[in-house]
């Protein structure tokens, strides 16, 4: 094998697979970072090398070569906020909302999250697994290679552990990396009605230790909102979660400003999510603590919100902005990332480059995975998508097509239409 010229980026001696003749947006440092006429080599599950075509050795021996025919490679999408495990449907509620009922009114009348809780409690683990595995298989076809999944439709110990057990089975059976989050403090279950403090005590004293023992979830989330839990209740959950060694994340300032973001940021949260009502003080706290702002335009769209997150302030203060599907049966039944990119641009004013950085490198950071996911760089996991597009902006601009050619996870082809 003739080894090439650029001594600062030498072609490795051993590689398993090479993608040749591609255009690449590596998304390194949150920008497109485009390379034309490029190649990418994989060794094991990792990216071993990225460089120009003319730096490839003349003979590649028996190495497995995938000719990309000048198509684009981007990092696989990281979906950093989903509620992917549920049973039942909320189509009737959708119709009620079209007739004028608000999300909060439906929640107060025992619908909303609690109606999905009833259906999820009633479903067996196997049924939930089958439903969730179908959704995971679909997300794969959409170029999503890492998926965060929250519990939070069980709201009792047994049902929350059942949901997380399903997440554990998905981790083993799906090609995507699954990050499980415990969201016991998602809504007040009917058996604790009017006793939110008692429920929070149950979450911290009974559920958290059970979740810890089960060993599947790595993070704890809370819905801090006037229809869910207060800042003080959020603090109690977070302090116990941190003591137990979990990372923390927050559903914050979605329908009103509860100032949960400042609390979460100060406690070292990986991310605060939603953020339509985020104050300037909240933005400053996020900036000071390097907390990722996860924007969920699908929920904004489905709930017909009018107040947009303070994107200009987030940008000005250099807060990393991620975007995610928020896939769930109520506020965001969105089963794909490309429409989310489109909504992030049109509804929230992100540029295509910012939206794509939001679904890759910043989303990886929102999961604490920035060292191994979210951009194309030697040493990172070989999670990538080959797209049949003319330019990366084509992933944000049309709706209704997903021009995936191949999805590669850990160097292996997980889905192909080539
Ligand atoms: O992220 N905001 C709270 N939780 C979910 C909604 C879940 C549901 O409506 O079932 C969200 O939008
Ligand atoms: Fe959510």
Instruction: Give the domain CATH number at 91.
Output: 3.20.20.140
Residue 3, pLDDT above cutoff 70: no
- 4 part of a folded domain: no
Q: Residue 7: which pLDDT band, with cuts at 50, 70 and 90?
A: low
Does the predicted TM-score (pTM) go above 0.95? yes
d(CA 356, CA 30): 8
Residue 4, pLDDT above cutoff 60: no
Q: Say if residue 55 is in the same domain as residue 83.
A: no
Distance from the alpha carbon of residue 222 to the mean position of ligand 2, in angstroms: 9
Residue 1, pLDDT above cutoff 50: no
Strand ranges for 284-402 from DSSP E: 292-295, 321-323, 384-387
Lowest mean pLDDT among 94-108, 274-288, 339-353: 94-108
Pocket of ligand 1 contains residue 156 by CB under 6 Å:
no
Q: Say if residue 235 is in the same domain as residue 317.
A: yes
Q: Give the end of a domain, one of 324, 344, 366.
A: 366
- 3 part of a folded domain: no
Residue 2, pLDDT above cutoff 80: no
- 5 part of a folded domain: no
d(CA 142, CA 159): 29
Q: Say if residue 220 is in the same domain as residue 312.
A: yes
How buried is 162 (Cβ within 10 angstroms: 0-12 exposed, 13-18 middle, 19+ buried)? buried
Bridge-based pairing state of the strands 247-252 and 217-224: parallel
Q: What are the tokens at 311?
A: 């994107």
- Ligand 1: residue of 94, 328, 333 to mutate (most ligand atoms within 8 A of CB) is 328
Supply the pLDDT for residue 6.
54
Distance from the alpha carbon of residue 395 to the mean position of ligand 2, in angstroms: 23
Pocket of ligand 1 contains residue 90 by CB under 6 Å:
no
Pocket of ligand 1 contains residue 326 by CB under 6 Å:
yes
Residue 103, pLDDT above cutoff 90: no
Q: Say if residue 219 is in the same domain as residue 287.
A: yes
- 183 part of a folded domain: yes
Distance from the alpha carbon of residue 274 to the mean position of ligand 1, in angstroms: 10
Q: Say if residue 51 is in the same domain as residue 150.
A: no
- 245 part of a folded domain: yes
Q: Say if residue 349 is in the same domain as residue 412.
A: no
d(CA 262, CA 241): 17
Distance from the alpha carbon of residue 146 to the mean position of ligand 1, in angstroms: 20
Supply the pLDDT for residue 399.
97
Could you tell me which residues come within 8 angstroms of residue 258 by beta carbon, excluding any fewer than 6 positions away? 224, 225, 226, 230, 231, 252
The CATH number of the domain where 62 resides is what?
2.30.40.10
- pLDDT tens per residue, range 298-313: 999 999 999 999 999 9
Distance from the alpha carbon of residue 165 to the mean position of ligand 1, in angstroms: 21
Tally of domains within the chain = 2
Q: Say if residue 334 is in the same domain as residue 211.
A: yes
Q: Say if residue 100 is in the same domain as residue 171.
A: yes
Q: Say if residue 142 is in the same domain as residue 272.
A: yes
- 231 part of a folded domain: yes
Residue among 68, 75, 3 nearest 38 (CA): 68
Average pLDDT over residues 194-219: 98
Q: How far is CA 185 from the centre of its chain?
A: 19
Q: Say if residue 53 is in the same domain as residue 116.
A: no
Residue 229, pLDDT above cutoff 60: yes
Give the closest ligand to the alpha carbon of residue 223. 1
- 9 part of a folded domain: no
Residue among 170, 178, 144 nearest 415 (CA): 144
Strand ranges for 34-174 from DSSP E: 34-43, 46-52, 64-67, 72-75, 77-79, 144-150
- pLDDT tens per residue, range 140-155: 999 999 999 999 999 9
d(CA 327, CA 316): 29
Supply the pLDDT for residue 124.
98
Residue 247 sits at φ, ψ, to 5 deg, of: -75, 160
Average pLDDT over residues 116-133: 98
DSSP string, 218-240: EEEEEEESTTSB-HHHHHHHHHH
d(CA 349, CA 329): 26
Distance from the alpha carbon of residue 250 to the mean position of ligand 2, in angstroms: 9
Identify the domain containing residue 382 by its residue range: 17-75+375-416
Alpha carbon separation from 394 to 200, 353, 367, 415 (Å, rounded): 45, 11, 26, 20
Give the closest ligand to the alpha carbon of residue 221. 2
d(CA 235, CA 347): 32
> By alpha-carbon position, which residue is closest to atom 12 of ligand 1?
331
Pocket of ligand 1 contains residue 177 by CB under 6 Å:
no
- 6 part of a folded domain: no
Q: Say if residue 324 is in the same domain as residue 386.
A: no
Average pLDDT over residues 384-388: 98
Q: Say if residue 270 is in the same domain as residue 385.
A: no
d(CA 239, CA 200): 12
Q: What are the tokens at 80?
A: 């950093």
Could you tell me which residues come within 8 angstroms of residue 201 by beta carbon, excluding any fewer than 6 positions away? none
């Amino acid at each position: 094998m003739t080894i090439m010229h650029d001594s600062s980026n030498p072609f490795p001696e051993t590689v398993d697979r090479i993608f040749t003749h591609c255009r690449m947006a590596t998304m390194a440092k949150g920008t497109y970072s485009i390379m034309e006429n490029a190649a990418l080599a994989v060794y094991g599950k990792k990216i071993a090398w990225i460089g120009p075509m003319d730096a490839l050795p003349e003979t590649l021996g028996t190495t497995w070569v995938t000719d990309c025919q000048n198509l684009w490679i981007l990092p696989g999408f990281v979906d950093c906020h989903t509620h992917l495990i549920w049973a039942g449907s909320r189509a009737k509620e959708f119709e009620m909302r079209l007739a004028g009922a608000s999300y909060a009114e439906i929640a107060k009348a025992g619908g909303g999250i609690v109606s999905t809780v009833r259906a999820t409690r009633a479903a067996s683990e196997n049924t939930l697994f089958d439903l969730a595995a179908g959704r995971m298989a679909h997300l794969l076809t959409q170029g999503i290679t890492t998926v965060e999944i929250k519990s939070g439709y069980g709201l009792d110990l047994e049902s929350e552990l059942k949901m997380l057990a399903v997440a554990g089975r998905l981790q083993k059976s799906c090609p995507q990396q699954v990050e499980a989050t415990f969201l016991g403090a998602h809504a007040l279950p009917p058996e604790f009605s009017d006793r939110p403090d008692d429920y929070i005590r149950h979450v911290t004293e009974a559920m958290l230790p059970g979740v810890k023992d089960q060993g599947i979830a790595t993070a704890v989330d809370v819905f801090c909102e006037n229809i869910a839990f207060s800042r003080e209740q959020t603090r109690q959950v977070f302090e116990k979660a941190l003591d137990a060694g979990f990372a923390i994340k927050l559903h914050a300032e979605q329908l009103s400003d509860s100032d949960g973001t400042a609390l979460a940021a100060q406690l070292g949260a990986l991310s605060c999510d939603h953020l339509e009502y985020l104050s300037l003080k909240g933005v400053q706290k996020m900036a000071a603590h390097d907390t990722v702002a996860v924007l969920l335009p699908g929920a904004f769209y489905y709930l017909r919100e009018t107040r947009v997150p303070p994107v200009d302030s987030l940008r000005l203060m250099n807060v990393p902005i991620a975007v995610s599907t928020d896939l769930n049966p109520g506020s965001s039944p969105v089963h794909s990332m490309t429409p989310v990119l489109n909504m992030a641009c049109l509804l929230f004013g992100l540029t295509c480059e910012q939206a794509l950085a939001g679904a890759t490198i910043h989303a990886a950071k929102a999961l604490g995975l920035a060292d191994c996911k979210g951009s194309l760089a030697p040493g990172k996991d070989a999670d990538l998508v080959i797209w049949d597009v003319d330019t990366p902006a084509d992933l944000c601009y049309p709706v209704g097509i997903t021009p995936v050619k191949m999805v590669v996870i850990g160097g292996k082809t997980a889905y192909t239409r080539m």
